[in-house]
């Protein structure tokens, strides 16, 4: 996995890159199907809803390692199946949603490069978002490996 951070005039961003042992279509399905997403993204059972189309809403309640629950809501900004997904995430006290982009590129028929990018208002927000995204990618990689073993 590689990590890239920047501090641009318009915000603090990061990009996480990882190669997953699964075809692009399987990675896309894991990210856009509520029951699969809930299994790997540390979501509370039954909390994930997805209307995967531009303008469609999504929501989930994430469970933290210490047992807390963190409700998340937002909408899909861009959906280009199976290669690009841009999510808007509602942030309390912020007028515009934060956005996170996901890009999938086939490395070979059974491997996919995934790049997650997000820009935040502060370095602290960026670091927290990057940590959460890293946990998501860890869960996704484990889920896909378990599915491949089958």
Residues 149, 100, 129, 116: what is their CA dihedral angle, to the nearest 10 degrees? 40
Q: At how many degrees (to 10) do helices 123-149 and 24-32 cross?
A: 120
Average pLDDT over residues 98-127: 94
pLDDT at 3: 59
Give the list of residues 6+ apart from residue 23 with CB closer than 8 angstroms, or none: 106, 109, 110, 111, 112
pLDDT at 1: 57
Give the mean pLDDT of the chain.
91
Residue 92, both tokens: 């309390």
Return d(Cα 81, Cα 121) in angstroms, integer: 29
What is the value of pTM for the model shown?
A: 0.89
pLDDT at 113: 98
Tokens 């690009």 sit on residue? 84
pLDDT at 67: 86
Domains of the chain: 2-149 (3.30.530.20)
Query: Model confidence over 24-60: pLDDT tens digits?
Result: 999 999 999 999 999 999 899 899 999 999 999 999 9
């Amino acid at each position: 996995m590689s990590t890239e951070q920047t501090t641009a005039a318009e915000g603090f961003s990061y990009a996480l890159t990882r190669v997953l042992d699964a075809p692009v279509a399987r990675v896309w399905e894991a990210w856009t199907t509520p029951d699969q997403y809930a299994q790997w993204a540390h979501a509370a059972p039954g909390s994930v809803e997805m209307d995967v189309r531009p303008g469609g809403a999504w929501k989930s309640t994430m469970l933290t390692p210490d047992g807390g629950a963190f409700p998340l809501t937002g909408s899909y900004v861009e959906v280009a199946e199976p290669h690009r997904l841009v999510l808007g995430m509602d942030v309390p006290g912020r007028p515009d949603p934060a956005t996170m982009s996901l890009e999938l590129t086939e490395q070979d028929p059974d491997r996919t490069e995934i790049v997650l990018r997000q820009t935040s208002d502060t370095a602290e927000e960026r670091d927290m978002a990057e940590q959460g995204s890293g946990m998501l990618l860890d869960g996704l990689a484990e889920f896909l490996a378990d599915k491949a073993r089958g």
